[in-house]
Amino acid sequence: MQVVVFGAGNMLLSDEGLGVHLVKRMNEKYEPSDDVEFYDGGTMGILATHKLEETAHVIIVDSLDAKGVPGELRVYKKEDIMLEKIPAKMSPHQIGLQEVLTLSELREKAPETITFYGVIPASLDSSVELSPEVDRRLDEIEALIIDELKRMDIVLSPVIAA
């Protein structure tokens, strides 16, 4: 596997489920690929470290526990994460991404590149639906991921309806 698109979050807490919603959507829209895996990391946190260590390129989608406007999209690269230019905790359900990456670096298994797409939540209420502010970002995040994959010479094939 060349790229893992890792969706993190809790589907039962509205916007906290952003990453899981995104990978579910992409698994439904695109044919399976030997180059890309859309992985539902749920609330596994450090237990999903192996997924980060199995590939050269990781794209993470999650809610972002930060000050700002609900629905605001922020994009970070590996260097930003390692230099702690992002909040220490990405979301309430997990340890910080910095800790996970530091562990991978110590094991000499960290991915070459990481892109983190984080969206500030509007709601963390009990709901399996995203808030309108965050739901609006799904198309944009998908397009950014598709562009990033194209720069790696990976083109996804849409699922053909029967």
Domain ranges of the chain: 3-151
Report the 10 Å Cβ neighbour count for 88: 11
Contacts of 20 (CB under 8 A, 6+ apart): 7, 8, 9, 10, 11, 40, 41, 42
Which has the closest alpha carbon to 134: 85, 74, 44?
A: 74
Q: Which of 1-5, 79-83, 88-92, 102-106 is predicted most confidently?
A: 1-5
Name the phi and psi angles at 73, rounded to 5: -95, 130
- Residue 87 clears pLDDT 60, i.e. is over it: no
Q: Does the pLDDT of residue 51 top 50, yes or no?
A: yes
Question: What mean pLDDT value characterizes the chain?
Answer: 85
Position 16, amino acid = E
> Which percentage of the chain shows pLDDT scores above 70?
84
The Cα–Cα gap between 148 and 162 comes to 29
Q: Which two tokens stand for residue 9?
A: 């979050």
In this prediction, what percent of the chain has a pLDDT beyond 90? 54
| Average pLDDT value for residue range 19-33 | 94
Query: What region does 94 belong to: left with phi over 0, alpha with psi -120 to 50, or beta?
Result: beta
Task: Give the HSE-up count for residue 76: Cα atoms under 13 Å, Cβ half-sphere.
Answer: 23
User: What is the spatial distance between Cα 25 and Cα 7, in angstroms, rounded to a whole number?
Assistant: 11
- The two counts, helices (H) then strands (E), for the chain are 6, 5
CA–CA dist 24, 79 (Å, integer): 28
Domain 3-151, classified CATH 3.40.50.1450, yes or no: yes
Residue type, 107: R
DSSP state of 120: -
Query: In terms of pLDDT, which residue wins out, 96 or 43?
Result: 43
